[in-house]
Structure 1
Amino acid sequence: MTKHIHVYSVEEIGIIQLNRPAVLNALSREMVDEIVAQLASFDSDDRVRVIVMKGNERAFAAGADIEEMLEDTSLTLEMLNPFAAWDRISLIKKPIIAAVNGMALGGGFELALHCDLIVAAEDAKFGFPEVKLGVMPGAGGTQFLTRAMGRRKALEWIWLGEMMTAKEAKKFGVINRIVAPELVEEETMLIAKQLAKLPPVSLRLIKEAVHAAEDLSMQEGKQLERKNFYLLFSTEDQTEGMQAFKEKRPPNFKGK
């Protein structure tokens, strides 16, 4: 049972819908724990091949739950270690796609950036307003945004705390696709269904190699890529994919 999210599946796609509409899906610590636990559950479920994260029409997530942090001190935060849960998102091996309508601000923007792909509405807004509260992003925002758009632009957006339009976010490589608000879920599910038809182990090892490219040297990255390339020749899906190509028929990938 979950209190702050709705969870369901459509064919081979596991869906997590943020569900605190009264506060524009502001992320409480309990809510983050639920999200991370469900991501791990989907990741270990062989029936699920792709994960979709979405909010509602007004907001993906408007930020962290500020009221929850009003009494925090440096010591209470150190002892609580609230970002440990966020770190577990990077352990998810399956593709995660964020469907963003409305606002994705602060922690909401960080949650979207933790996903592998982002589909956004034309009128979606992104940003890190934390500086206006006397703080800064703490769940990886400075790192994700810098890797996406570069140091100078990331500093500009995070320092000023201004909202970024979907068009600007796409221009700087922060999101993948922009569609009309009413088509966000449809476009996201279209991508998810495309991915769900592909060999799961290939997707898993591609994700590992691409994510590692941000931190490894070129030579180390190439070594990891080659290791994963070789590993795929131990899968039934590799045999099936090449045999199907030879026989000029659609492949039937089973994730083995």
Structure 2
Amino acid sequence: MSAPAGLAEARQALAQEAAGVDELLASLPEPADRSPEQRALAAEAKNRGRALRSRFMRTHGEAVYDELTQQRTVHLRLAELVEAAAAAFPGLVPTAGRMAAERTRPQAGKEGHEIDQGIFLSQVLGSPVSGPHLMDAMLRPTPRALGLLAEFERTGSVDLGSVLLERRDGAAHLTMCRDDCLNAEDNRQVEDMETAVDLALLDPAVRVALVRGGVMTHPRYRGRRVFSAGINLKSLHAGEISLVDFLLRRELGYIHKIIRGVLTDHDRSWQSRTIEKPWVAAVDGFAIGGGAQLLMVFDRVLAGADTYFSLPAAQEGIVPGAGNLRLGRLAGGRISRQVVLWGRLIRATEPDAGFLFDEVVEPQELDAAVEDALRRLDSPAVVTNRRMVNLAEEPPEAFRQYMAEFALQQSLRLYSEDVIGKVGRFTAASAARS
């Protein structure tokens, strides 16, 4: 198929402009060592290149995506898509080599090449043609999960590193076990969580699933379960939190799979394209940031009476995933603003906690509450009805449009001065408390 009119010329112009920006940046000191004048010069050049990339994608985005996916016959995941785009359209997104070099720098010392990925993926997701296709690609099981499926079906147990997955009486128990950092998420945990979610959904012997935090070895919580401390700020400060492999993959991958199921060929594909199952969360200790975001997609959320949740987006400076999409629906606009913009912490025993916690029990009663919830949700009728509830509450199109804007805005937030400064202070304060 011939390229659309103007694409070849636009591709060449983009490559030339990007080469000019690269030449200028290479002539300057490392980002952290630049003078105010040099920083201004670099920022102006980057802004010029990003404006061109945005115009290029607005005009040619669907044709670009069709070329990369062979007219939407190949399903490329996020990382595969940006790598293919870097090879086929020089200057559109950073190459794998450039991103590898960028990962060796702390967040404050990076050039911000992920913003170019954000521009690209925002336009892909924003298209009603390419966006749904990419979302479908992200709902497919990962190669790692497919490689482990036979073992899990046979043994009912697999240790993924940061997540332990066990099947007991038809229930998949996903235990987050980053005991050293209170289950603070990073690229590694997102990878392990998506693998575990895939396996739970693909295993025909699993009918219902549970996510819970494991027992910690962290000095302040030694011997106690903790659900999640949110994003790993130390990893963010060190430049190890990826836009593609963490912030976007997390939302479009395992969290979206909890809602929609895993997309795969199965014997009842004519009934539903995906395999879906009910999900329960049990909260011990606290659910902060990404932990609180995660609770918004479960069918039933249980909590100990001594727990709390918070979504400190304003303090951290980044966008709390799809929490802004879901929290207002669950809690109402006023509480959503109090939690997201004002940093309000809500304890499980407060009346307002009811919008996120279905059942609050004494800590010693949480195990029994978990077993009761798993038993009651173990029903084919629950599967069908949760599908209809999810369609009504969060139509796929609304999620796609949100994620299109999120891809760009989150990439910008990652490299904003306030975020870099706050992350550095939080990391130092955390180290002092440890």
- Identify which of 384, 389, 392 aligns with 1:205: 384
Q: Matched residues in 2 for 1:152 and 1:119: separation?
A: 24
Distance 2:206 2:251 in 1: 21
Equivalent position amino acid for 1:126 in 2: F
1:87 aligned to 252, 267, 275, which one?
Answer: 252
**Structure 1 residue 99 displacement after superposition:** 0.4
- Supply the distance in 1 between the matched residues of 2:385 and 2:237 (Cα, whole angstroms): 41
2:65 corresponding residue in structure 1: none
1:32 maps onto 2:190 in alignment: yes
The amino acid of 2:182's aligned partner reads: L
Contact 1:170 1:177 in 2 (8 A): no
Aligned-residue identity in percent: 23
Consecutive unaligned residues in structure 2, runs of 5 or more: 1-158, 215-223, 262-275, 396-434
Give the equivalent residue in structure 2 for 1:48.
Answer: 206
Partner of 1:134: 317
Relative to structure 1, the CA distance from residue 164 to residue 171 in structure 2 (aligned partners, 3 Å threshold; closer, same or farther) is closer
Partner of 2:227: 60
What is the distance in 1 between the residues matched to 2:369 and 2:240? 42
Match for residue 22 of structure 1 among 171, 176, 180: 180
CA 1:73–1:181 in 2, change beyond 3 Å: closer, same or farther?
Answer: closer
Q: Deviations over 1:83-110 (max 9, x none)?
A: 2233233332101100001010001111
Distance 1:95 1:133, change over 3 A: same
**Alpha-carbon deviation of 1:214?**
1.5
Q: Is the 8 A contact 2:346 2:353 kept in 1?
A: no
Letter in structure 2 aligned against 1:23 = C
Any conservation in 1 of the 2:260–2:387 contact (CA below 8 Å)? no
Shift of 1:159: 1.0
Give the SS at the match of 1:23. coil
1:196-227 Cα distance to aligned partner (Å, 9 max, x none): 2x2x2x222211101111246xxxxxxxxxxx
More strand by share: 1
Aligned equivalent of 1:195, options 373, 377, 393: 377
Structure number having the greater helix percentage: 2
Cα distance in 2 for residues equivalent to 1:80 and 1:64: 13
Amino acid at match of 1:62: A
| Residues 47/160 of structure 1: CA separation in 2 closer, same or farther (3 Å cut) | same
Contact kept in structure 1, 2:300 and 2:373, CA below 8 Å:
no
Gaps of 5+ in 1: 217-256
Do the aligned residues in 1 keep the contact of 2:346 with 2:352 (CA within 8 Å)? no
Contact 1:28–1:65 at 8 Å: present in 2 too? yes
Cα deviation, residue 82, structure 1: 3.0
Q: Distance in 1 between matches of 2:231 and 2:205?
A: 32
How far apart, CA to CA, are the structure 1 residues paired with 2:386 and 2:317? Answer: 35
Q: Residue 105 of structure 1 contacts residue 126 of structure 1 at CA under 8 Å; is this kept in 2?
A: yes
Offset at residue 161 of structure 1 (A): 1.2
Indicate the residue corresponding to 2:357 in structure 1: 175
Q: Distance in 2 between matches of 1:134 and 1:41?
A: 34
Structure-2-length-normalised TM-score: 0.46
Q: Given the alignment of the two structures, is residue 120 of structure 1 paired with residue 311 of structure 2, yes or no?
A: no
SS of 2:282's partner is strand
What's the secondary structure of 2:180's corresponding residue?
A: helix
Q: Which amino acid aligns with 2:281?
A: A
Distance, in Å, in 1 between the alignment partners of 2:367 and 2:174 is 12
- For the pair 1:104 / 2:271, whether they are aligned, the reply is no
Identify if the C-alpha distance between structure 1 residues 171 and 4 changes in structure 2 by more than 3 Å, giving closer, same or farther.
closer
The alpha-carbon distance between structure 1 residues 213 and 58, as it changes in their structure 2 partners (threshold 3 A), is same
Amino acid at match of 2:311: F
CA distance in 2, matches of 1:55, 1:171: 19
DSSP-derived class of the 1:30 partner? helix
Change (3 A) 1:118 1:169: farther
Q: Which amino acid aligns with 2:361?
A: V
CA RMSD across the alignment: 2.2
The answer (yes or no) to whether the contact 2:230–2:287 under 8 Å persists in 1 is: yes
Query: Deviations for 1:104-152, whole angstroms, at most 9, x for unmatched residues?
Result: 00011112222221000101110111311222312x1112211101111
Matched length:
210
User: Matches of 1:173 and 1:72 in 2, distance apart?
Assistant: 34
Check if 1:145 corresponds to 2:324.
no
Bigger Rg, structure 1 or 2: 2
Q: Given the superposition, is the C-alpha separation of residues 33 and 130 from structure 1 closer, same or farther in structure 2, using an over 3 Å criterion?
A: same
- Report whether the alignment pairs 1:156 with 2:338: yes
Equivalent position amino acid for 2:260 in 1? L
* Distance (Å, rounded) in 1 between the aligned partners of 2:376 and 2:382: 12
Q: Is the Cα contact below 8 Å between 2:230 and 2:288 reproduced in 1? A: yes
Tell whether the 8 Å contact from 2:213 to 2:284 is kept in structure 1 after alignment: yes
